Structure 1
Amino acid sequence: MTRGDVWMLEVRVAPNQAERVAAALFSAAAGGLEERDGALVAYAESRRALAPLVAAVQQCGLEPELSRLSASEWQTPWTEYLEPVRVAEGFVLAPTGHDASPTEGARVLWFEPDLVFGVGSHATTRLAATAVERYVRAHPGTAVLDVGTGTGVLAMIAAACGARRCLGIDVDRRAVDNARANARLNGLACRFSARPLAAVKQRHDLVVANVEAPALFDLTPDLVRVTGDTLLVTGVLEERRSELAALLSDLSICGESTSDGWVLLEARRTRAGPTAKMD
């Protein structure tokens, strides 16, 4: 879990503004987003890291309030509101310390909450988790690459569904440490590495990326390159679907799903190359 001071952004929103402002914050790379009565709250490790979030709020015609919190001030208020989230048909994501009871037909995956990497409640997490579960259950023994792994939840779901090999990568070393801890907590054999996607050389049967635009657009050529069979991409609003689809022209789009204004595209390679062994 994060240690030390953090910065908090709070913006007052009317009921008819909340969804649009939340979408703008997530698009600007907000990790965890807290909803309070009449307000949205986001956190970052520095004031500089809040800059894109401030700009996103201002583009919605609102002005946020910024404040600096000590570790003791933010840790308890932030975590006390966390509840288990059903992220896919067979999985519930629950923060450690919560008395989560198993849900019928679903396995509980525990995680150490970290405000930077989110808590699994965003629509894109649910879209990606559902698609990963469906694919791996239909293709047991597959090799999976999770790009921008964050808490590691997508890699963990793949491992729990019977994937042969799960690799999660992130350019943030702390994200990798957090994901490793979460996998150990759940007794799942996932591998995590702090490296850029460009450093991955071999193809994987399934590649999944839940990454905000515009970073997702920049990553798309390499995402296509490392896809052996199927690519799942999400992190953009429905209004930008055509932009994302155009970048997947080397693959065949075979499915899509939407939730709360966000879209996930599923694309397939018609002739798959060799998949990963170890890199």
Structure 2
Amino acid sequence: MENWVEITIHTTNEASEIVESILLDYGSTGVAIEDPTTLEENLHDDFGTIVELSPADYPEVGVIVKGYINELNFDEETFKRFEAELLALGENINIGDFFKIETTIIQDSDWENSWKDYFDILNIGEKFVIVPTWREYENTENKYIINIDPGMAFGTGGHETTSLCIKNLEKYVQRTDNVIDVGCGSGILSIAASYLTDGNIKAVDLDRLAVDVSFENFALNNLEKRIEVDQASLLTKETKKYNIIVANILAHIIELMIDDAYNLLEDGGYYITSGIIEEKKDELLEKMLERGFKLVEETSDNGWYSFVVTK
């Protein structure tokens, strides 16, 4: 039986997505985030989607990010490199004066059970509900159901950036729109788009694992023939134009694709972005406007920002 290293990182919400990305780079099978603000929201949630959660399991400040890496792939030398990379974040971003890294060894059978404890049914926006594959859900309100397997990596859509994107897709996608999801991760945004348009949908990611995970999640939703998925670096391989370009990635990556996004967006279409922290948003928006985009809407959630722009 294989053992797993559970890596627990106490940091700020601002740093959490970058920490999550680093964990995945080091081979984490998945990432869980314990955010006390999410706990507070769901304790008062009308849908009753999360029950019997204890505030004692959540930090008083900041967030807890947990990753799971096979013990065979995470020796002492690897841990030292990992630790140094996380500490280096503090030079450019607030990681919190309470920042802390802890590791625990757990057995494979414990991993399979404990991982699922972090995920429950999640309502997003007016129309969508994200349902982990092991949960039962009675769709009494005629919601758009996104079935997802978070154990495969990349989360379940509970992060603020994903939620912001889904809410904006609800607002701006029209029934005939062609959509591309750039940096698709788990494929959640592409699945959401499939409910909103009869047009073509494409999902791209540079990471082969993300491409495979997206395809698996598309299959869970009977969309493997509906959504095209490809391994690609941002929009560099694209030649067709789209009505909607959505990208839930970090600000400096969004900046790299501003020109391609402008050239590939249909007139009157929308470029929906998230993954943007407050310190980066003004600079990024300025560069978008300089390229010719027009700001339609700026939204935020818990320190994360989303821009919807058009041309």
TM-score range, shorter chain: 0.7 to 0.9
Give ranges in structure 1 of 5+ residues lacking alignment: 13-19, 270-279
Measured on the aligned residues, the alpha-carbon RMSD in Å equals: 2.5
Structure 1 residue ranges, 4+ long, deviating more than 6 angstroms after superposition = none
* Alignment partner of 2:165 out of 106, 128, 131: 128
Q: Does 1:167 align with 2:202?
A: yes
Secondary structure of 1:201 counterpart: coil
Change over 3 Å in CA distance of 1:226–1:75 after alignment to 2: farther
Answer yes or no: is 1:41 the counterpart of 2:92. no
- Between 1:205-214 and 1:41-50, the stretch displaced more is 41-50
Conserved 8 A contact 2:298-2:307: yes
2:2 maps to 1:22: no
**Aligned ranges 1:225-244 → 2 under 5 Å:** 225-228=263-266, 229-244=269-284
Matched, 1:10 2:47: no
Deviations 1:79-136 (A, max 9, x none): 1231011122111011101112225242221011136311110111110001112212
Q: How many residues align?
A: 257
Equivalent residue letter for 1:199: K
Q: Is the 8 A contact 2:122 2:158 kept in 1?
A: yes
Q: Percent identity?
A: 23
Residues 66 and 53 of structure 1: CA distance in aligned 2, closer, same or farther (over 3 Å): farther
Larger displacement relative to structure 2 (256-265 or 182-191): 182-191
Per-residue deviation, 1:185: 1.6
Tell me, in whole angstroms, the C-alpha distance in 1 between the residues paired with 2:7 and 2:255: 27
CA contact (8 A) 2:19 2:65 kept: no
Residues 225, 251 of structure 1: alpha-carbon distance in 2 compared, 3 angstrom cutoff: same
Counterpart CA distance in 1 for 2:154 and 2:237 is 22
> What amino acid is aligned across from residue 151 of structure 1 in structure 2?
S
Residue from 245, 264, 270 that aligns with 2:285: 245
Distance 2:68 2:287 in 1: 31
Unaligned runs of 5+ in 2: 25-30, 35-56
Between stretches 69-78 and 252-261, larger displacement belongs to 69-78
Q: Is the deviation greater in 218-227 or in 171-180?
A: 218-227
Q: TM-score, normalised by structure 1?
A: 0.82
Aligned position for 2:261: 223
Match of 1:17 in 2: none
Q: If each structure's helix is expressed as a fraction of its own residues, which one has the higher value?
A: 2
Farther off after superposition, 121-130 or 68-77 = 68-77
- Is this contact kept in 2: 1:170–1:195, CA < 8 A? yes
Structure whose CA Rg is larger: 2
